[in-house]
Chains A and B, each alone.
Chain A
Amino acid sequence: MAAVVGRRICRLGGAPCRLERTAHSAGRLARDGAAWVAVFSTTAVWLAAVILSCSDALAAEPLSQDDYAVVTAICKPGDGEAAWASIPWEIDLWQARRRAAKEGKPIVLWEMDGHPLGCT
């Protein structure tokens, strides 16, 4: 069960998601010492419910406006994480070559598989 619960996206505030609460309820029923048949029936119903909810379980929880604000804030680069972007990079080698000739400077080319200013 834990693995299934772990695939859910819990709300950013840390509140348990729906599937996690369902699992806890089932666990309490078993611990109450009900007859084996009753436990089996309960478990079967519970398992069926889990299976039926699996497709739903693979749908991430909708985002709230608060979630949106938090996600946006922590996803984008923070202070000091984008110092490399302060370099006045050209993105056109020929243009850089013309500029270097005009200004009498050498060129530094950062060439990667996947553009250094995009891609990864």
Chain B
Amino acid sequence: MAGRASAFSDPEIIRLASESFVPVTGDDWYQRRRQDAVGEFFRGVARQGPRGGTDQGTNQGIYFFTASGKLLAYKNAGQNADVMRDVFHEALAKWNRLPADERKAGAALVPDIAASDLDPRYTRGLPEAGLVVNVFTRALERDKEGRLETCSGDTSGGFHGFQTAYDHLWLTKAEWQSLLPPEPHVGDTVPLPDEISARIARFHLTDNTRGEPNMWQPHEVLRREFTLTVSEVTEERVRLKLEGSVLLATGPDPEKAKRGYDAALLGTIELDRAGGRVRRFDLAALGDTWGSGTYTRGARPGRNPLAVVFELAEGDRPADKVPPQAMREPSRYFSASR
């Protein structure tokens, strides 16, 4: 997502967004479709801009508007910080030209919305006591000695997906509690619960570094092997070593498959013995990826290293509450193994 590294990493834009505006993010897939007050408000703002505000096509972009819904400025993306800085100033200038009565605190009346009035088809929430794990994905390359390193804009030959991509893994309370063996002894080996390993493989070992990724279909999971080994047991906690291996490909013959990921995994999960919480969920996948997806054109030629790292979210930042990309279809997300 280009705007992260360009416009929204610019110090002046960060200052303006943080101090002079209320900054908010949204996934247009939900927002343009939802049939409730939130969707109506957003589409009303978007209708004043070039996207048109319909639910038939994308309305993505960067919008500047008032709490009452008056559009001040619009830019389709934030690739160029210089351009975006000008748009911020243009929006702020238009805001300042509005009558003082429109701008003052409390001028716009925004009613509260009951949760029951939100369109449930396009509203997502973490299940009660669910676990959020941050997922980072990055395209890597090898140096002349074969050592892995990050791709850089200079060496990527026009390849644009060299920045870290983000997603979140959600586990229900019952799922993360199922990770705790009933009578753990060091050296015991148990499989990772099927639903968790299937969810990780199908929805989180994807190459999302160049845009919205295709999720793996059940028949595209050619190998999915995860093993948990009890590595430490104390009165307070249990530590588990997680090892795994996946082969994901768009065809039964990975030699010929147009897209795939062949990776090994290693990690550590640590739980309170009382079952109260997960202390650690550290997992790394490393393997070769190949091929482009529907919305992720421009893959590097051949097979190239891709890393995926999982780490427990702090849980108190708004960003931690962003649903997993694959939660657009929650029934599928929570039944990945079927």
Binding site for B on A (CB under 8 A): 6-7, 9-10, 12-15, 54, 58-65, 67-68, 70-72, 74-78, 80-120
- With contacts A84-B14, A113-B58, A119-B208 known, is A108 near B286, CB below 8 A? no
Expressed in whole angstroms, the Cα–Cα distance for A14 and B146 within the complex equals 4
CB-defined contacts of B163 to chain A, threshold 8 Å = 77, 81
Min CB gap A102→B, angstroms = 6
Q: Are A74 and B323 closer than 8 Å at their CB atoms?
A: no
Binding site for A on B (CB under 8 A): 1, 3-5, 8-9, 11, 14, 17-18, 20-29, 31, 37-38, 41-42, 45, 58-68, 72, 78, 88, 91-92, 95, 103-110, 112-113, 136-138, 140, 142, 145-150, 163-168, 208-213, 223, 243, 245, 247, 254-255, 262-267, 282, 284, 286-288, 295, 302-303, 305, 307-309, 311, 318-319, 321-325
Q: Are B147 and A97 closer than 8 Å at their CB atoms?
A: no
Q: Are A101 and B106 closer than 8 Å at their CB atoms?
A: yes
Which of these, A104, A109, A118, contacts B319 with CB under 8 Å? A118
Q: Are A93 and B309 closer than 8 Å at their CB atoms?
A: no
CB-defined contacts of B138 to chain A, threshold 8 Å = 74-76
Q: Are A84 and B38 closer than 8 Å at their CB atoms?
A: no
Q: Are B247 and A114 closer than 8 Å at their CB atoms?
A: no
Min CB gap A34→B, angstroms = 30
- With contacts A103-B105, A109-B25 known, is A74 near B41, CB below 8 A? no
- Contacts between chains A and B (CB distance < 8 A), count: 303
CB-defined contacts of A7 to chain B, threshold 8 Å = 262, 288, 303
- With contacts A72-B282, A74-B138, A103-B105 known, is A88 near B18, CB below 8 A? yes
Q: Are B243 and A110 closer than 8 Å at their CB atoms?
A: no
Q: Are B208 and A112 closer than 8 Å at their CB atoms?
A: no
Q: Are A106 and B288 closer than 8 Å at their CB atoms?
A: no
Expressed in whole angstroms, the Cα–Cα distance for A8 and B3 within the complex equals 34
The secondary structure that dominates the B interface is mixed
Q: Are B24 and A89 closer than 8 Å at their CB atoms?
A: yes
Expressed in whole angstroms, the Cα–Cα distance for A90 and B109 within the complex equals 19
Q: In the complex, which residue of chain A has the Cβ closest to the Cβ of B287?
A: A60
- With contacts A58-B262, A59-B247, A97-B110 known, is A112 near B166, CB below 8 A? no
Expressed in whole angstroms, the Cα–Cα distance for A33 and B29 within the complex equals 65
Which of these, B22, B247, B308, B324, contacts A107 with CB under 8 Å? B22
Q: Are A67 and B28 closer than 8 Å at their CB atoms?
A: no
- With contacts A59-B247, A100-B66, A120-B212 known, is A68 near B28, CB below 8 A? no
Q: Which of A15, A64, A86, A119 has the most CB of B within 10 A?
A: A119
CB-defined contacts of B18 to chain A, threshold 8 Å = 86-88
CB-defined contacts of B164 to chain A, threshold 8 Å = 75-77, 81-82
Apart from A81-B5, A93-B38, A111-B27, 11 more pairs, CB < 8 Å: A10-B142, A60-B287, A74-B149, A84-B5, A86-B18, A108-B24, A109-B24, A109-B26, A109-B42, A112-B27, A114-B29
Q: Are A94 and B166 closer than 8 Å at their CB atoms?
A: no
- With contacts A101-B109, A109-B25 known, is A87 near B17, CB below 8 A? yes
CB-defined contacts of A10 to chain B, threshold 8 Å = 142, 146
Which of these, B28, B303, B309, contacts A71 with CB under 8 Å? B309
Q: In the complex, which residue of chain A has the Cβ closest to the Cβ of B17?
A: A87
Q: Are A112 and B1 closer than 8 Å at their CB atoms?
A: yes
Q: Are B110 and A65 closer than 8 Å at their CB atoms?
A: no
Q: Are A76 and B25 closer than 8 Å at their CB atoms?
A: no
CB-defined contacts of A14 to chain B, threshold 8 Å = 145-147
- With contacts A116-B3, A118-B167 known, is A106 near B65, CB below 8 A? yes
Q: Are A60 and B319 closer than 8 Å at their CB atoms?
A: no
Q: Are B22 and A106 closer than 8 Å at their CB atoms?
A: yes
Which of these, A13, A59, A103, A105, contacts B223 with CB under 8 Å? A59
Expressed in whole angstroms, the Cα–Cα distance for A117 and B113 within the complex equals 24
Which of these, A80, A93, A111, contacts B61 with CB under 8 Å? A111
CB-defined contacts of B243 to chain A, threshold 8 Å = 62
Q: Are B286 and A107 closer than 8 Å at their CB atoms?
A: no
Sample (15) of A-B pairs whose CB atoms are under 8 Å apart:
A12-B147, A59-B247, A70-B148, A72-B311, A87-B23, A91-B321, A93-B38, A106-B92, A108-B88, A110-B3, A111-B60, A113-B58, A117-B25, A118-B166, A118-B323
